Structure 1
Amino acid sequence: MDIYAILQILIATFAATSAMTLFSYAVSASFRELYKEPVLLTFLLKQLKIDVSDKGKATLAWILHYFIGFIFVYTYHILWVNHILSLSLLNAFLLGSICGIIGIAGWMILFKLADYKPHIDFKGYYIQLFFAHIIFGIVAALFYYLTLTIILIAKSNVTI
């Protein structure tokens, strides 16, 4: 994997995870519920009694959130470059839906393992989480395609 592919994956990760997070924050505000993944991750980390300050746990939660986004986008990259799936909006929707199901299952497991029961509407949280991941998949594909186009143009116009 060259530096361009790494940069492409990082840009798509940042854009997709940020878009998903903004969606979750907007839904959280609209419904006056706690649907903010980084905040919930911070609470989970507090339950695990890790010897880190509260600010450190909040920072770690944000890093984990973006790292999980990176893993999803890297998986998309593998599927796209190996022609297992084409880079299309339909497949982005499909990948986002699959990641939404994975995300819901992951949160269910995390809440169970940490014995943490936040005072939230779980059904509402999981529904918004599913749609947040669809947004993630679509934004990841759009930014991946956009950066791919820019990289191809840059490579064709730059000689070393």
Structure 2
Amino acid sequence: MIDKLIPTNQWLSVILVSGITGTAVMTLCIYVLNHVTKKVMNVTKILGTMITCETTDDGKLSDSKLSVIAGIAAHYAIGIMFAYGYHLLWSAGVGAPGIWNGLLLGFVSGIFAVIFWFTFFAIHPFPPHIELKSYLPTLFITHFVFASATVACYIFFSDKLLT
């Protein structure tokens, strides 16, 4: 059982690269949507502002280096943890990496993200002024992108590892 919880160095590399790739692709989609819609949906900046409690007095996002670094680091760490969770599921025989599983994981991850963000905004002492009715659905949809990219990367590198 412990060998499934603690992956070998090769599997750890697959998990890290898959999580980072999925997070990068998702973040790129969010940046494009942010630019196209002109709505504030920069997940790393929102996350960093909320983690560091640096919402400006007028409810805007922080531009501090600490906030930006915290948001990026937290977002990528969460992406890697999701990839590790996917790996644990597959190692335990629950599903297998593939297109349909990626879509299912995107749905589940998206639901989890919406619940997390809704709760985070509700309990945060001074959250930034973000339009949640557009932000939360965007996060839900982009988690399909995250999971699909993560699964595709995982398949690509695990095939290399297993051959």
TM-score of the pair, normalised by structure 1: 0.87
Cα displacement string for residues 131-160 of structure 1 (whole angstroms, at most 9, x for unaligned residues): 11000111111000000111123xxxxxxx
Deviation at 1:82, TM superposition (A): 1.6
User: Residue 86 of structure 2 aligns to a residue in which SS?
Assistant: helix
- The answer as to whether partners of 1:48 and 1:114 remain within 8 angstroms in 2 is no
- The sequence identity of aligned pairs, in percent, is 25
| Alpha-carbon distance in 1 for matches of 2:83, 2:126 | 28
Q: Name structure 1 gaps, 5 residues minimum.
A: 154-160
1:43 aligns with 2:49: yes
Which residues of 2 match residues 9-88 of structure 1 at below 5 A? 9-47=15-53, 54-88=64-98
- The answer as to whether partners of 1:8 and 1:148 remain within 8 angstroms in 2 is yes
| Alpha-carbon distance in 2 for matches of 1:115, 1:105 | 18
Q: Aligned to 2:102, which of 92, 96, 111?
A: 92
Give 4+ residue runs of structure 1 displaced > 4 Å after superposition: none
Deviation at 1:109, TM superposition (A): 1.3
- Whichever residue aligns with residue 120 of structure 1, its letter is I
1:118 aligns with 2:124: no
CA 1:56–1:119: 2 relative to 1, 3 Å: closer
User: Residue 39 of structure 2 aligns to a residue in which SS?
Assistant: coil
Corresponding residue for residue 157 of structure 1 = none
Give the stretch that moved more between structures: 79-88 or 115-124. Answer: 115-124
| Alpha-carbon distance in 1 for matches of 2:66, 2:131 | 27
- Whichever residue aligns with residue 89 of structure 1, its letter is I
CA 1:34–1:48: 2 relative to 1, 3 Å: closer
Q: Name structure 2 gaps, 5 residues minimum.
A: 1-6, 56-62
| Alpha-carbon distance in 1 for matches of 2:83, 2:52 | 28
Q: Aligned to 2:137, which of 108, 111, 127?
A: 127
